[in-house]
Amino acid sequence: MHASHLIAGRAWLPALLLCVCLAAGAPAAAADPPLTEARLEVRDADGERLVSLPMPEGEGWCLEWNHSVEGFAVLDCYRHRDGRMVLTRSHLPDFAAGLDHIPGRGRQVSDGEGGYWIEAIDEPVPGNAYRLRVGSMRVDHRLVVDGVRTSLSRLAANERVTIRLALPAPTPD
């Protein structure tokens, strides 16, 4: 065999190995980089990140949606507290269709406009995450962070998502 054939054959070796790795199911894309700060994330059923927002300790956000029967906005509000996602309060503009206060779970106060807030709920969310079946645009599930609304219904209507408070891995001492 001529030396030029050996050199040409060696040039194909890396490409051949890449094809073999891909065919064997080796991952084609890198995993998410490690977190350097706490983030509020929304991921679809396949684990793809749809939303990722900084969420430092003490900051909060709300999930807002239009009530499926009455159409008014309902809010569940959370806070990053001591590394936990904590449901702190809910806003309900009406007692319609099963929306009412559960005695012993927070404190009901008027919102001054005919509805009410349930304050001081202070319930940690197990595992800092929960699943949500995102509603259609009529329901329009949306995240509210610092007054900015992000429509989850535009991103994943009628799909299952996971909303989570993602924390950076602890650093070794």
Rounded Cα gap, residues 44 and 50, in angstroms: 7
The residue behind tokens 């001591």 is 82
Render pLDDT for 33-81 as a digit per residue (tens, 0 to 9): 788 999 999 999 999 999 999 999 999 999 999 987 777 899 999 999 9
Q: Tell me what pLDDT residue 4 has.
A: 43
Number of C-beta neighbours around residue 171 at 10 A: 5
Q: What does the mean pLDDT of the chain come to? A: 82
| Cβ atoms 35, 19 nearer than 8 A | no
Here the tokens at position 128 are 């800092």
Q: Tell me what pLDDT residue 114 has.
A: 82
Domain boundaries defined on the chain = 39-166
Q: Tell me what pLDDT residue 34 has.
A: 84
Question: How much of the chain exceeds pLDDT 70, in percent?
Answer: 76
pLDDT band at 164 (very low <50, low <70, confident <90, very high): very high
Q: What is the pTM of this model?
A: 0.77
Smallest CA-to-CA distance from 139 within 89, 79, 67, 90 is with 67
Rounded Cα gap, residues 163 and 17, in angstroms: 39
Rounded Cα gap, residues 81 and 31, in angstroms: 27
